[in-house]
Chain A
Amino acid sequence: MVRAWWSRGWVRTTAILMAALVVFWIVLELAGEETRNIANGIFTILAAPEFVKAALIAAIPLLLAALGGLISELSGVLNMALEAMMLVGAFVAYTVADHSGSPWIGLLAAGLSGLALGLVHAVFTVTLRANQVVSAVALNLFAVAATALAFRVLYIHKTFQPAPGFEALHFPVLSDLPYLGVALFQHNILIYLALLLIPVMWFILYRTSWGLTLRSVGEHPMAANTVGIKVNRVRYIAILLSGTLVGMSGSALVSASGINAFQENLSAGRGFIAFAAVIFGRYDPIGAFLGTILFGLGDALQIRLQAYGVEVPYQLLLMLPYVITLLALVVFMRNARGPAASGTPFVEEGAG
């Protein structure tokens, strides 16, 4: 189905952002001198290349989580355990990097921990056919308790120390470009790998036979079964892949903290925002990316506003990403449609 150009997500995003800017500008014209000074400060913040840089850094953990969530979602299994996988992944990435001295081993271990959680989620939702939402809620509670416990046990007697992280890369010429150099070309390798994953994922999902299999399982498992596809096996693979990616997003989260450190409940609901990004990104890797960028911009703005000393209580600023996500859900959800069999377990005829 060809969608009209104006119904595409990014067109709408741009239109809404521009409308918001116009409203903002009118308000400023009406407001007094002092407000205008603050607004000037905010514009300075927004215009700095560091702002885009920070937004991208904040968006990457969510991007990885959202891409992971997308695979599982397309196979017909809701993965609201993104939050749990991200948190456990972050803890494992930090601890293993700290002990081994290599962020790469940390990344690998984080992926494996996500895989393990994915396996639990798969056993519950695919094999036992338990409620997918409740399984995720339980895993999320588990992740908060388990990481807090392990963190206390492992680090209680030690002074705080950052783990070794990924070094920022320096490209010849590109990194020295004005504005773009700082904004886009001085990141660490993880960020470029994550961005590279968007087209890779798109290709796998829409241009390979395995991608078609995956989507057919999420769309009409009964039909997929009839043509000889092992529905539950595909779902297992999808959830395990999903878990691995989301676990790795924890590594990106640690590295996005700026100091390569873990703290209790580091993910703070980002997994749910990634889950939402999958939905309002219309179950598409590129849409998911745009969704997470939206969050990244909000997060970067929020942190800078706090630092700038705008007289808005920080609790309300912390609320901002969730409110933005909620609004995005409402704005972009119209006409969006998830996989038809999403959330329903598959029972093979005659098995049981």
Chain B
Amino acid sequence: MAEDISQNLAPLKPKARFSLPIANVAMPLLSIVVAALAGAVIILLMGYDPLKAYAALAQGSFGNLMQTSETVKTAVPLLLCGLGIAFAFQSGAFNIGAVGQMYMGGLAAILVAGQFAGLPGWLHMLLATLAAFVAGGLWALLPAFLKVRYASNEIISTILLNYVAIYLVDYMVAGPIKSGGYGGAPTSWPVLAGVMYPKLVPQTQLHLGLIFALSAMVILFFVMRYTTLGQRVRIVGQNRVAATHAGIRADRVFLLAFFLSGSLAGLAGAAEILGYQARLISGFAPSTGYDAIAVALLGGHAPFLVGLSALFFAGLQTGAVAMEAIAKLPAQLVDLIRVLAILAVLAASSPRIVEFARKLQGEDRKW
């Protein structure tokens, strides 16, 4: 139907003289500009200086090498979760449970990394990472199983499981794996010495988790593009019935896709704990799993673009810290500006706007 529309309208518009990729590049950029303007208005209304705030944002995100490394570090869990969500999306289901899967990954990582002293460091590290991978995967497998077996709506069950995972972590760090002698927020026992991910570059925050995330990105790209698994996942996502008729065991592919999706989020949890935080803290990544939905969306569910968009949202996050510290904006105001960016991305990627952009461009090729 959409095709008919473009064919009907194509003759009305002369061909564009220049072929700026309006739909893919200009629209997202424009939407971010609009979000920035809206943010500026809000900042102004709250009685702060938007120019100063945005200067701090730029300075804090990519202002110097130190801050850039901080941003790249922040991008790691976003990228891993975003890739997971994108992968699940290809199989035709929404995984909103990255928060919970990441929490379970973090929990599994600290359970392994905080005990069993005496194992060789690299093996210990690997086992902790593997535990996080499996834990995240299983936490995603549960709603996928409920969907396949009982037709339970996966959107709602993944969200409910987020809350369960959050409370489980709260319980664990306040009880069974509580560390002694700390005031303030409950924290778990620390990661044992030698189990933390090694730093890639001394004096920066870049750690082994970045390698995991980048590998996941490349592997996912190859899986989706060149393997039968990728093809099966896509077919199942596009048409379950057709997939079944083509001899694909749709349920099995779906379960596998969800498991891997959760594993990637679990890996993000491990990257947070073993790469950076060194212990499990109650509420250690409250919004990463939700932001990752926007990351996947902005990246159009294509692995490399998801990487770029993870970097963008990470920049917003690290820049936000600077906005708070330098421009003295309240943290919630900064959160609000991030949400504006998400809404802008959503608008820019919506079919209506994309169609509009294509029309503007006078493009009549099939899409």
Contact = CB atoms under 8 A, between A and B. Distances in A.
Given A142-B339, A148-B332, A80 B9 contact: no
Nearest to B159: A272
Nearest to B173: A315
Interface residues of B, number: 50
Contacts of A350: 5, 8
A129 interface: yes
A329 B336 contact: no
A145 B152 contact: no
Contacts of A319: 163-164, 167-168
A330 B143 CA distance: 10
Given A148-B332, A334-B151, A141 B339 contact: yes
A171 B342 CA distance: 50
Contacts of B297: 131, 134
Interface in B116-150: 146, 150
A129 B157 contact: no
Contacts of A153: 46, 330
A322 B164 CA distance: 7
B305 interface: no
B346 interface: yes
Contacts of A130: 346-347, 349-352
B293 A329 contact: no
A133 B94 contact: yes
A325 B8 CA distance: 49
A133 B155 contact: yes
Contacts of B153: 276, 279, 329, 333
A326 B156 CA distance: 9
Contacts of A345: 351
B352 A152 contact: no
Interface string A296-328: 000000000000000001011011001101100
A276 B330 contact: no
A313 B174 contact: yes
Contact of A131 (B160, B161, B346): B346
Contact of B330 (A129, A152, A279, A334): A152
A352 interface: yes
B161 A134 contact: no
Nearest to B332: A149
Contact of B346 (A138, A313, A325): A138
A148 B160 CA distance: 22
A129 B352 contact: yes
Contact of A316 (B151, B167, B346, B351): B167
B167 A134 contact: no
Contacts of A336: 151
Contacts of A168: none
Contacts of B163: 269, 272, 319, 322
B294 interface: yes
Nearest to B163: A322
Contacts of A141: 287, 290-291, 335, 338-339, 342
A127 B356 CA distance: 12
Interface string A117-130: 00000001001111
A135 interface: yes
Interface string A334-347: 10100000000101
A146 interface: yes
B96 interface: yes
Nearest to B170: A315
B167 A318 contact: yes
Nearest to B349: A130
A204 interface: no
B12 interface: no
Interface string A233-261: 00000000000000000000000000000
Interface string A216-241: 00000000000000000000000000
Contacts of A142: 336, 339, 343
B134 to A, nearest CB: 21
Given A135-B346, A145-B335, A315 B152 contact: no
A137 interface: yes
Contacts of B164: 319, 322-323, 326
B146 A137 contact: no
A334 B150 contact: yes
Pick the 6 closest A-B CB pairs, nearest first: A149-B332, A130-B350, A145-B335, A315-B171, A128-B350, A142-B339
13 contacts: A80-B156, A124-B347, A130-B349, A130-B350, A145-B333, A146-B336, A149-B336, A153-B46, A276-B153, A316-B167, A334-B151, A345-B351, A350-B5
